[in-house]
C-alpha cells in the first residue's frame, strides 16, 4: 500500500510538520509496516507548491525546510494550480494520503476537501471536524452545545478592532466588563500559540487585540484561568478510544511558542498525576469533544484542571497533533500500550475504514 505522506505546508508550523512526518515515515519502515507500506513523500513548500520525488525525500530525511523561490505566488491561478500539484503519476499511485500538516491550510479542512473532491482516502478528521477543530470560536460553540465546561470567552472581529477610534474604546469596555483581567487574546485560526497574548490591563488588551487581528479576521478573548494543563489522545472512528493522560509543565507565563519548541523549556508527565475520578472525567469529555466536532481517526484534546476546586475545563481539540520525538500524542499512546509503528498502522487502517 502506497501512503502519500504530505508534509510542510503554508502555516507557521511548517518546520514542526517536517519533523512530525519524519517520525511517521520512520515508523512506516519498522516491523510489519516495512512489508505492508511504501511511503510516497510529497512536500508542500511555504509558497504552496507541491514537490514529490527525491527533493521531497531529502526534506524528509534532513528535517530541514527548503530555501524557496518566492516568485511562485505571483503566477496566474491556472499556472499555480498545475505547478502546485506534483506530476499526476505520483498522485495516481497513492492508495491513501496521510496529511501531516499542522495549522491553517492543512489541519483546517482545506486539504481534506481536496481529497474528498479527488475521492481518495486519507488519515484523520474530515472537512467538518478539521475546520471546527481549527477555528477556536466555532469549536467552542460546538463544545457549548453539548454542555462541556469551558472558560468564559467572547468573539471579536477584525473590523470591530480596526473600527474608528470612537468604537474601539467601547469594545474594550465591554470585554473588560464581561471577562476582566487577566485575559487571553488569540487569533481564532492559528496554532502553536502564535499571535496569542495575555493582557493584564487596558494598554495590553489594546495591543493584544491589534496584534491578534493582524493574524486573523476572527479573534477570541478568554478569561484567564490558573490551572494545570492536562491532555488526552483519541484514536478511532465510531468507537473512539481515550489514552492515558499527559500533563505539560513549563516555566514561562503560559505555554507559548518558545516553551513549545525550545528543548528543555517544558516537561511532560505521562501518565498525568491526577486523581482517578478526574482522569475518568477528562477521558469521557475527550470522547464527547471528539464526537461534537465529528472527529475521525485522530485528535488530542487539551484541558485546564483547576486543582483547588477539582474543576475541569476543556481548552481545545487538535485534529493533527504533533508527531515529533517529544510530542504528546505518540507518547501518550506509547504509555497506553500502542507504540508508534502500531499507532500509524492503526491510523491508516482507520482512514481506509472511513472511506469505505
Ligand X SMILES: Nc1ncnc2c1ncn2[C@@H]1O[C@H](COP(=O)(O)OP(=O)(O)O)[C@@H](O)[C@H]1O
Q: Is 178 annotated as a binding residue?
A: no
Is residue 270 within 8 Å of 211, Cβ to Cβ?
A: no
Query: Per rule CB under 6 A, is residue 193 in the interface with ligand X?
Result: yes
| 240 close to 287: Cβ distance less than 8 angstroms | yes
Counting contacts by CB under 6 A, is residue 254 touching ligand X? Answer: yes
Q: Is 192 a catalytic residue?
A: yes
Which parts of 278-307 interact with ligand X (CB under 6 A)?
302
User: What is residue 99's three-state secondary structure?
Assistant: strand
Closest distance between ligand X and the C-beta of residue 318, in Å? 7
Adjacency order of strands within the sheet including 153-157: 153-157, 218-223, 183-187, 197-199
Q: Applying CB under 6 A, which part among 82-90, 187-195, 273-281, 335-343 lies near ligand X?
A: 187-195
Judged by CB under 6 A, does residue 199 bind ligand X? no
Read off the C-alpha cell for 298.
485522530
Instruction: Select from 32-40, 42-50, 121-129, 192-200 the region that touches ligand X (CB under 6 A).
Output: 192-200
Count CB-CB contacts under 10 A for residue 39: 21
Is 255 near ligand X (CB under 6 A)?
A: yes
Among the listed residues 11, 52, 192, 266, the single catalytic one is 192
Residue 12 engages ligand X in binding (rule: CB under 6 A):
no
Annotated catalytic, 13?
yes
Q: Is 69 annotated as a binding residue?
A: no
Nearer to ligand X, 85 or 225 (CB): 225
Asked whether position 216 contacts ligand X by CB under 6 A, the answer is: no
Which residue, chain included where needed, has cell 477539582?
Answer: 310
The reply to whether 159 belongs to the active site is: no
Q: Give the integer Cα–Cα distance in Å for 68 and 40.
A: 21
Q: Does position 151 bind ligand X by CB under 6 A?
A: yes
How far apart CA 200 and CA 253 sit, in angstroms, is 12
Q: Where are the alpha helices (DSSP H) in the chain?
A: 14-27, 33-36, 53-62, 77-84, 88-93, 110-118, 127-134, 136-145, 158-161, 167-179, 202-215, 257-261, 276-292, 328-335, 340-355
Indicate which single residue of 30, 72, 137, 225 sits in contact with ligand X (rule: CB under 6 A): 225
| Strand 153-157, strand 38-44: pairing | unpaired
Active-site residue set: 13, 192, 327
Return binding residues.
Answer: 136, 184-186, 192-193, 222-229, 302, 315-316, 318
Per CB under 6 A, residues contacting ligand X are 151, 184, 186, 191-193, 196, 222, 224-225, 229, 254-255, 302, 315-316
Return binding residues for Mg(2+).
Answer: 302, 316, 318
Amino acid at each position: 500500500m502506497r501512503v502519500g505522506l504530505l508534509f510542510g505546508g503554508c502555516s507557521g508550523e511548517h518546520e514542526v510538520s517536517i519533523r512530525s512526518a519524519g517520525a511517521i515515515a520512520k515508523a512506516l519502515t519498522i516491523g510489519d509496516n516495512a512489508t505492508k507500506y511504501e511511503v510516497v513523500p510529497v512536500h508542500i513548500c511555504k509558497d504552496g507548491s507541491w514537490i514529490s520525488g527525491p527533493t521531497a525525500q531529502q526534506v524528509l530525511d534532513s528535517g530541514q525546510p527548503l530555501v524557496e523561490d518566492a516568485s511562485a505566488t505571483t503566477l496566474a491561478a491556472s499556472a499555480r494550480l498545475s505547478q502546485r500539484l506534483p506530476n499526476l503519476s505520483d498522485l495516481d499511485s497513492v492508495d491513501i494520503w496521510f496529511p501531516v500538516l499542522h495549522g491553517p491550510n492543512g489541519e483546517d479542512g482545506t486539504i481534506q476537501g481536496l481529497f474528498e473532491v479527488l475521492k481518495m482516502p486519507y488519515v484523520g478528521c474530515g472537512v467538518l471536524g478539521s475546520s471546527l477543530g481549527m477555528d477556536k470560536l466555532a469549536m467552542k460553540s460546538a463544545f457549548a452545545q453539548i454542555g462541556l465546561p469551558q472558560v468564559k470567552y467572547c468573539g471579536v472581529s477584525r473590523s470591530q478592532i480596526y473600527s474608528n477610534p470612537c468604537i474601539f474604546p467601547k469594545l474594550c469596555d465591554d470585554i473588560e466588563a464581561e471577562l476582566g483581567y487577566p485575559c487571553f487574546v488569540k487569533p481564532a485560526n492559528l496554532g502553536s500559540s502564535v499571535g496569542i497574548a495575555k493582557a493584564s490591563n487596558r494598554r495590553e488588551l489594546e495591543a493584544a487585540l491589534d496584534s491578534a487581528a493582524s493574524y486573523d479576521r476572527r479573534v477570541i478573548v478568554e478569561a484567564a484561568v490558573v490551572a494545570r494543563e492536562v491532555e488526552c489522545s483519541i484514536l478511532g472512528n465510531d468507537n473512539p478510544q481515550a489514552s492515558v493522560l499527559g500533563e505539560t509543565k513549563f516555566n514561562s507565563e503560559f505555554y507559548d511558542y518558545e516553551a513549545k519548541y525550545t528543548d528543555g523549556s517544558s516537561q511532560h508527565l505521562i501518565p498525568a498525576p491526577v486523581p482517578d475520578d478526574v482522569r475518568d472525567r477528562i477521558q469521557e469529555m475527550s470522547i464527547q469533544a471528539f464526537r461534537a466536532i465529528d472527529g475521525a481517526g485522530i485528535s488530542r484534546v487539551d484541558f485546564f484542571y483547576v486543582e483547588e476546586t477539582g474543576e475541569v475545563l476543556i481548552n481545545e481539540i487538535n485534529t493533527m497533533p504533533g508527531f515529533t520525538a517529544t510530542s504528546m500524542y505518540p507518547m501518550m499512546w506509547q504509555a497506553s500500550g500502542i507504540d508508534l509503528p502500531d499507532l500509524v498502522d492503526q491510523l491508516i487502517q482507520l482512514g481506509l475504514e472511513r472511506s469505505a
